[in-house]
Amino acid sequence: MITTMDQIFVLLQHWIVGFLPAFVQPFAAVLLSVVVIICLFPALFALAVWMERKGLGRMQNRLGPNRVGPFGLLQPIADGIKSLTKEDIVPLSADTPVHFLAPLLLVVAAFMGFAVLPMGRNMVLVDMDAGLLFFFAMGASTEVSVFMAGWSSRNKYSLLGAMRAVAQMISYEVVLLLSSVAVVMISGSMSLTKIVEAQNHYTWGMPHWYIFTPWGLAGFVMYAIAATAETNRSPFDLPEGESELVAGYHTEYSGFKFALFFLGEYLAMFSISGLGTTLFLGGWSAPFAFLEWVPSWIWFFSKLMMSIFVFIWMRGTLPRLRQDQLMNFAWKFVLPFTLLNLMVTALWRFMGEGWERWVVCSAILAVVWVVMGRVEMRSEHFGPRSYRYAE
């Protein structure tokens, strides 16, 4: 069901571009979409920072921001002004060009991921046949920017923090990719628009989102774990372990450059949440058939902000893991289970439409999850032995 409100932004873009000469219109349409993305997500960044600070304050029985503006709503603006006016200090021995380019590369790579995300019906900047591949290619460049920041600072703590962050991001990026492969196997496409369309149909008013299948639920859990580690969020926020490595790879950054790292982290959280929404939660499709009259972009951003709330909730709830626990969890539990889920996905694909595949696939995943979980929790990395002092 396509309504005027659903396509209001598309119609508005066509109306604005229609006043321009024909040879300029394609470039103007792209430029207008880029400007909207560049303005929209930093605004969401400011809102998410306010939500996080107020939410964590509520969880910890304190007020949070409450001085600047009503309910502290203008606190992100005050923080931005403070970052712009602070002195930019660069270490004397630092590699100045690389030190300057690292935060810029991080932010640009985060923005590039939004180019292929369908944020509503007919609302995607570039509808690529290999949009998923492009998204992960852009996301992989963030590891380069992190290492650039640590190496160019000429600080051993920054370098150690960068190496630790890159090791973590590469480890969990493998899981992130493989959990997405299951969706590609079922949908038969790497186009994010076609993946959403494959989920945008209903049976008895209920959606066919991939999360409502055994392999989809398992893939979504693995994706969520890997996404949390990729964005350096708690309990995987070791790259910013102040008690161990001062502030990690951005120890030697101050002022607006540090703010760019902060912005890049939240933009990555938005983009990876948007991708998870697209792959497993139906993207811009409605949760029930009778709600299709609600504009598609409202559904997309509602699911996106719900994901951000879960990130905030976990930060206020879960303690930070140790480095050895984090790496062993990736390679000895999450990755093997993700590979098994690919096998279950193939079994689901070729078992037909009967109820037997629900029973078989659910049983396999449940048994393996319980067995692997018990083995991992009894291992030396998570069991009581992990907290003993070395003899």
Nearest to 311 by CA among 224, 248, 216: 224
**Matching residue, tokens 């001085």:** 67
pLDDT at 389: 41
CA distances from 121 to 9, 47, 292, 294 (A): 10, 24, 11, 12
pLDDT at 226: 93
Q: Label residue 164 exposed, middle or buried (CB < 10 Å: 0-12, 13-18, 19+).
A: buried
> Taking the alpha carbons of 78, 84, 86, 92 in that order, is the dihedral positive or negative?
positive
pLDDT band at 376 (very low <50, low <70, confident <90, very high): low
Residue 292, both tokens? 């299709």
What is the three-class DSSP state of 353?
A: coil
The arithmetic mean of pLDDT across residues 91-118, rounded, is: 91
Nearest to 278 by CA among 311, 301, 308, 309: 301
> Taking the alpha carbons of 255, 259, 262, 268 in that order, is the dihedral positive or negative?
negative
Assess whether pLDDT exceeds 50 at residue 388: no
The arithmetic mean of pLDDT across residues 158-175, rounded, is: 89
Query: What are phi and psi for residue 203, nearest 5 degrees?
Result: -125, 120
- Dist. CA 359–CA 170, nearest whole Å: 34
The answer to whether the beta carbons of residues 151 and 98 sit under 8 Å apart is yes
Residue-wise pLDDT tens digits, 247-256: 678 888 888 8
**Number of Cα atoms under 13 Å in the Cβ half of residue 34:** 9
The arithmetic mean of pLDDT across residues 53-57, rounded, is: 91
Higher local confidence (pLDDT), 322 or 340: 340
How far, in whole angstroms, is CA 325 from its chain's centroid? 22
What is the three-class DSSP state of 207?
A: strand
**Number of Cα atoms under 13 Å in the Cβ half of residue 228:** 24
DSSP for 94-125, please give it: S-HHHHHHHHHHHHHHHHHHGGG---STT--S
To the nearest whole number, what is the mean pLDDT of the chain? 87
- Dist. CA 186–CA 360, nearest whole Å: 17
- Dist. CA 131–CA 183, nearest whole Å: 13
Residue-wise pLDDT tens digits, 223-253: 999 999 988 888 888 776 656 656 678 888 8
pLDDT at 249: 84
Residue 224, both tokens? 């969520």
Residue 138, both tokens? 């852009």
- Dist. CA 323–CA 64, nearest whole Å: 30
pLDDT band at 23 (very low <50, low <70, confident <90, very high): confident
Assess whether pLDDT exceeds 60 at residue 383: no
CA distances from 334 to 175, 226, 337, 338 (A): 7, 8, 5, 6
**Number of Cα atoms under 13 Å in the Cβ half of residue 275:** 32
Higher local confidence (pLDDT), 322 or 221: 221
Residue-wise pLDDT tens digits, 270-290: 999 999 999 999 999 999 888
